[in-house]
């Protein structure tokens, strides 16, 4: 009889443990659509190997996006609406959405970044470049709609890209780390080359160590953590730091989208989900043990496999216990 009680107790423990295997995303408070998103990031200019010395003035009047097929696949899998709430999950959608939009905008951003270098801004009278956010976001949204991808709005007055995720596309510059060569092309310095090495993903997956390494190398573009506190509290200094960081990430996406998209989305997620808006020291793991900002399809696939594997082990153990109890 005591053995039966023991079997029942063990069955209860195993069953309860099996229920807790199901993964869950961290709970993120819903943003207020009436207030600007404090974690919004501007798409930074990033540059391909060769870019004309100076962009045509007509290019300033429109938003040119280079949208590859992989963009649609990545966004469709990461920004699916939740079966229960009907809303998208911001922790999986927003960083991936931002990374792909920055990648699509990167060539245009780099063309415009050339106008911000001293040798041009001092010698050439150029108009103030506009904020591309609304124009490009509108073009981006229409491109997704044409492919049958619907980003479910949190409400009628708040779109997903601009309002809900707070993604912005500003003209950016970072003359401290990027320069123009004799041909008038943007080139990166040593810190940019290190960023290229530390953020590259050869297998299309950003692990926790790779994400953290890329994140800390990114900070070196602006040395924001080494600056004096009185300086870092200055708004203009913070904007310059963010500009360099975003330019660095967009540079990577323009250089090799497939080689950097996973790491960049992981870094963006760590930055965007920082609760107090400060620079996170490392990337963190979610409940599945996966680095932040991987494609939601990968999360679903791996978490489902983990749950299934745990279930098989649990039921196998119960079968063994039942057999022992029967033969006792």
**How many other C-beta atoms can be found within 10 angstroms of the C-beta atom of residue 306?**
15
What average pLDDT does the segment 181-209 reach? 89
pLDDT (0 to 100) of residue 267: 94
pLDDT (0 to 100) of residue 279: 83
pLDDT (0 to 100) of residue 17: 41
pLDDT winner (highest mean) among 146-155, 226-235, 261-270, 307-316: 261-270
pLDDT (0 to 100) of residue 285: 62
pLDDT (0 to 100) of residue 222: 76
Q: Is the pLDDT of residue 190 over 90?
A: yes
Domain residue ranges in the chain = 35-294, 296-328
Q: Is residue 324 very low, low, confident or very high in pLDDT (cuts 50, 70, 90)?
A: low
Q: Is the pLDDT of residue 95 over 70?
A: yes
Tell me what the pLDDT averaged over the chain comes to: 70
Q: Is the pLDDT of residue 292 over 90?
A: no
pLDDT (0 to 100) of residue 36: 38
What average pLDDT does the segment 44-50 reach? 38
pLDDT (0 to 100) of residue 268: 94
For residue 238, the number of C-alpha atoms closer than 13 Å in the C-beta half-sphere is: 11
pLDDT winner (highest mean) among 55-64, 226-235, 243-252, 302-311: 243-252
> How far is 38 from 276, CA to CA, in rounded Å?
9
In terms of pLDDT, which residue wins out, 202 or 263? 263
Q: Is residue 328 very low, low, confident or very high in pLDDT (cuts 50, 70, 90)?
A: low
Question: To the nearest whole percent, how much of the chain has pLDDT over 70?
Answer: 59
pLDDT (0 to 100) of residue 237: 76
Q: Is the pLDDT of residue 114 over 60?
A: yes
What average pLDDT does the segment 276-292 reach? 64
Q: Say if residue 113 is exposed, middle or buried (CB neighbours under 10 Å; 0-12, 13-18, 19+).
A: buried
pLDDT (0 to 100) of residue 43: 37
Strand partners, 285: 291
Contact 186, 110 (CB under 8 A): yes
pLDDT winner (highest mean) among 5-9, 45-49, 209-213, 317-321: 209-213
Question: What digits encode the pLDDT tens for the residues 226-251?
Answer: 444 444 456 777 788 888 999 999 99
Strand partners, 187: 179
Give just the sign of the alpha carbon dihedral 71, 106, 298, 25.
negative
pLDDT (0 to 100) of residue 131: 58
**How many other C-beta atoms can be found within 10 angstroms of the C-beta atom of residue 149?**
16
Burial of 199-216, coded b for 16+ CB within 10 Å and e otherwise, reads: bebeeeebbbebbbbbbb
């Amino acid at each position: 009889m005591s053995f039966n009680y023991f079997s029942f107790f063990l069955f209860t423990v195993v069953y309860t443990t099996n229920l807790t295997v199901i993964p869950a995303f961290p709970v993120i408070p819903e943003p207020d659509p009436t207030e600007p998103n404090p974690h919004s990031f501007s798409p930074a200019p990033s540059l391909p190997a060769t870019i004309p010395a100076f962009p045509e003035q007509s290019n300033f009047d429109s938003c040119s996006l280079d949208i590859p097929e992989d963009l649609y696949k990545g966004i469709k899998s990461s920004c699916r609406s939740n079966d229960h709430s009907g809303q998208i999950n911001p922790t999986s959608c927003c960083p991936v959405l931002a990374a792909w939009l920055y990648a699509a905008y990167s060539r245009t951003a780099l063309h415009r970044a050339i106008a911000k270098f001293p040798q041009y801004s001092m010698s050439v009278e150029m108009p103030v470049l506009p904020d591309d956010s609304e124009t490009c976001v509108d073009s981006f949204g229409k491109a997704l709609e044409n492919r049958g991808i619907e980003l479910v709005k949190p409400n009628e007055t708040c779109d997903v890209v601009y309002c809900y995720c707070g993604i912005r596309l500003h003209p950016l510059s970072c003359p401290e780390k990027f320069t123009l060569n004799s041909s008038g092309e943007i080139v990166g310095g040593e810190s940019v080359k290190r960023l290229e090495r530390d953020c590259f993903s050869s297998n299309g997956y950003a692990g926790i160590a790779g994400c953290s390494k890329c994140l800390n190398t990114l900070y070196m573009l602006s040395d924001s953590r080494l600056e004096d506190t009185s300086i870092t509290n200055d708004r203009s200094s913070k904007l310059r730091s963010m500009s360099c960081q975003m330019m660095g990430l967009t540079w990577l996406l323009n250089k090799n989208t497939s080689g950097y998209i996973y790491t960049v989305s992981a870094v963006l997620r760590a930055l965007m989900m920082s609760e107090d808006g400060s620079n996170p020291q490392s990337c963190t793991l979610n409940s599945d043990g996966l680095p932040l900002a991987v494609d939601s399809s990968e999360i679903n696939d791996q978490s489902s496999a983990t749950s299934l594997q745990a279930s098989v082990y649990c039921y196998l153990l119960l079968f063994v216990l039942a057999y022992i109890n029967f033969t006792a």
